[in-house]
Amino acid sequence: MSDEITEHPDRPQRGQVLFAALFLICATLLLAAIEDQTKWLKGKDFFAQPRFWPAVGVGGMVLFTALHFWHLPRKPRRLPRWMREADWFQWAESLFWAVLAIGLALWLGPISAAPMVFLVAIVRVTWLYQHWTDRREAKIWVSVFEWAGWFLAYVLLVPLIGYLPVTIAFSLILTWRVGYRSRLMMWSAGVFAVLVVLVFKSFLQVKIPGAAIYEYLPGALRSFFILNF
């Protein structure tokens, strides 16, 4: 089966509906929170209001993402056979969304409920048009959290153990993790780590704090390590 939903010469289609929907949902929630999160000051000019530029930003996000979402090439989702054949399911599905929207409008009032009803509409369209390739793409997005986790672990460990040891360890372990096991690559990773520390911390003196573990080193060595590594 083709990886693409429709042939589009410009960009891959996998995940587009999902991305646009998620971005639109976030933008709508931000727009709904504008009254709470910004102020309208009496006696101030319209363009000098603290709310003016956030409104331009968030309003533009909602408007342009909604138009982008609308223009995306879409193909209806292929539902399981029992869902397609059961009339009651089609009715129940439509009814569920309608009841949800009306319920929100009654609960919050028509103006406050407008963004929520809009959200419900986005969720429904996404449910109807999402494809198996979108779900596979979402899994790839989630898989990147591993690398972000490695990065944050590195950030957390540097102030405790020290820039030089953590950088060497991180470089070697990550090189091993991504599949390079040869002696050449491991040496390259180690040398690269040492060079980075020497250039940035020892030579350029960038602001990276000395490690807590360095406190246990004897006098002169302690300050030498804190300053350079």
CB 178 within 8 A of CB 127: no
Stretch that binds other proteins, among 49-57, 94-102, 124-132, 213-221 (CB under 8 A): 49-57
CB 229 within 8 A of CB 163: yes
78 or 98: CB nearest other proteins: 78
Does 60 bind other proteins (CB under 8 A)? Our answer is: yes
Does 65 bind other proteins (CB under 8 A)? Our answer is: yes
Q: How far is Cα 178 from Cα 216, in angstroms, rounded to an integer?
A: 34
Does 2 bind other proteins (CB under 8 A)? Our answer is: no
Q: How far is Cα 171 from Cα 176, in angstroms, rounded to an integer?
A: 9
Does 50 bind other proteins (CB under 8 A)? Our answer is: yes
Q: How far is the CB of 176 from other proteins (least distance, A)?
A: 10
Does 47 bind other proteins (CB under 8 A)? Our answer is: yes
Residue of 67, 80, 88, 183 interacting with other proteins (CB under 8 A):
67
Contact positions with other proteins (CB under 8 A) in 156-175: 156, 158-159, 167, 170-171, 174-175
31 or 120: CB nearest other proteins: 31
Per-position DSSP letters for 105-170, written without gaps between them: HHHH-HHHHHHHHHHHHHHHHHHHH--HHHHHHHHHHHHTHHHHHHHHHHHHHHHHH-HHHHHHHH
Q: How far is Cα 16 from Cα 24, in angstroms, rounded to an integer?
A: 12
Does 194 bind other proteins (CB under 8 A)? Our answer is: no
Contact positions with other proteins (CB under 8 A) in 198-227: 200, 204-209
Q: How far is Cα 55 from Cα 63, in angstroms, rounded to an integer?
A: 11
Site track 24-43 with other proteins (rule: CB under 8 A), x = hit:
---x--x--x---xxx-x--
Does 137 bind other proteins (CB under 8 A)? Our answer is: yes
Helix, strand, coil % (nearest 5) of the chain?
75, 0, 25
Does 192 bind other proteins (CB under 8 A)? Our answer is: yes
